[in-house]
Amino acid sequence: MTSINAIRFNRYQGAMVGDETISTSGGLAYHTSDKVQPCIPEQVRAAYGIVAGMATTGSCSIGENLKREFHDWVLARFRAEIDRAGHKPATFLDLDQLMEGLFDLVVKQKQTWFSDKLRGEFGFDVTEFISGHYERNGRREEIKDRDMTRRITDWLSWKNMEPEVDGIFLNAGLFAGYDDKLGFQIYHFDLRDGYWHRVQTCYFAEGSGRHSVDPAMYEFVERLRIDERRGDVDPLEGLVALLTALNVASVHEAGVGGYPTVMLFDGREPIARRQREFSDDRSWLGTRVARAYSTGFLDRESCFELLDGLFFKDEPFESAYARFWSAAREPERLGRLLRGYKVPPLGQARL
């Protein structure tokens, strides 16, 4: 289970945040910070300044295959353009066109998954099922069994939401990034209903964590004027809001928790710094800073200064960590809260 999120600050800046806890068959849980990954090949990034990240929720194998196939498709398209023109073209695909190509891969993967399932159970693939017949060893076999046809049709349409095909339908994802033509954009794609769209709101949440992230973000978004929502969100305020919402999800959702990934985008920066990824001690400390602020153990100014240093100004982790505890109110009590003890927010008495 997963929480994957993206937020648009303005035309040039945005962020993606992801987190996941996986349960093993033995009842153990382990954390992963790899749900949000860069997905544009380095050659394309260097040539055109396009940067993007992809995050998926659902079957891990399907998400990983999709990320790899998309990376390879973009690189192959880039090389084909060079071969055709004899040199690097002046322009390349924009984010809308990249998303169209990504969704084609989503549809292809869905068909491949179903073909493998049908081939294993009935001996024919999706294309052969649609045609109504298949050939084996020179013999033409008609697909006429009504019960079997009805069963397969229900699978393909997910009519009854049968668990047997959850492995493909319960997948969705976010694609977000920057190009010079469109600026920073967020896209959502969904295998449940088979669609993709460019997100028109300033943020989007997916995965099991969205049930907690959305309510936690409402208060922040409702405070924004319409022009701010459309492209004038303060980057620090937006990042604090999203990290706080992720913290809420980690408390309420069994599939969220551990080390998050924070990915920042800024189209005004040199190409090498347009996309920056944090998935270690910095991202971990960032969520703790946001939680200390939301529970009253850290004031607003200290919270914003710490996150600014951690994510935007390359402050050394050791320095930020020391400043965090120096600025904290009742650090011993805060330490217990961050270690999982049931400590009420500062200023609130236990009932």
pLDDT in tens, the chain (351 residues): 589 999 999 999 999 999 866 555 555 555 555 779 999 999 999 999 999 999 999 888 888 999 999 999 999 999 999 999 999 999 999 999 999 999 999 999 999 999 999 999 999 999 999 999 999 888 899 999 999 999 999 999 888 888 888 889 989 999 999 999 999 999 999 988 889 999 999 999 999 899 999 999 998 999 999 999 999 999 999 999 999 999 999 888 877 877 889 999 999 999 999 999 998 899 999 999 999 999 999 999 999 999 999 999 999 999 999 999 999 999 999 999 999 888 888 866 444
CB-based contacts of 272-277 (< 8 A; 24+ apart in sequence): 274/45, 274/49, 274/51, 274/178, 275/38, 275/45, 275/51, 275/52, 275/53, 275/177, 275/178, 276/311, 277/36, 277/38, 277/53
Pairing of strands 183-190, 195-198: antiparallel
By the 10 Å C-beta count (0-12 exposed, 13-18 middle, 19+ buried), 158 is classed as middle
**Tokens linked to 232:** 């004038």
In a domain, 180, yes or no: no
Residue 210 backbone dihedrals phi, psi, to 5 degrees = -65, -25
Name the token pair of 34: 């790899």
Each as own residue / partner, the long-range contacts of residues 218-221 (CB below 8 Å, 24 or more positions apart, any chain) are none
Range of the domain at 306: 280-346
Torsion of CA 235, 207, 59, 99, to 10 degrees: -50
Whether 273 is covered by a domain: the verdict is: no
Residue 51 lies in a domain: no
Q: Are 16 and 5 in contact (CB under 8 A)?
A: yes
Q: How many domains does the chain have?
A: 1
DSSP state of 28: -
Lookup result for tokens 């209903």: 193
Residue 342 lies in a domain: yes
Q: What are phi and psi of 6, to 5 degrees?
A: -140, 150
Q: Phi and psi at residue 88, in whole multiples of 5°?
A: -70, 125
pTM: 0.91
Residue 132 within any structural domain of the chain: no
State the helix-helix crossing angle for 331-338 and 281-294, rounded to 10 degrees.
Answer: 120
DSSP assigned state of 21: E
Please tell me the total number of residues recorded for the chain in this structure: 351
Which residues are bridge partners to 16 per DSSP? 6, 263
Q: Domain for residue 157, yes or no?
A: no
Is residue 284 in some structural domain? yes
pLDDT recorded at residue 82: 95
Q: What is the Cα–Cα distance from 197 to 99, expressed in whole angstroms? A: 9
The per-residue pLDDT for 351 is 41
Picking from 4, 3, 5, 9, the residue whose alpha carbon sits closest to that of residue 236 is 9
DSSP letter at 205 equals E
Is residue 158 assigned to a domain?
A: no
Looking from the CA of 36 toward its CB, the CA atoms found within 13 Å total: 31
What is the C-alpha end-to-end distance of the chain, expressed in Å?
33
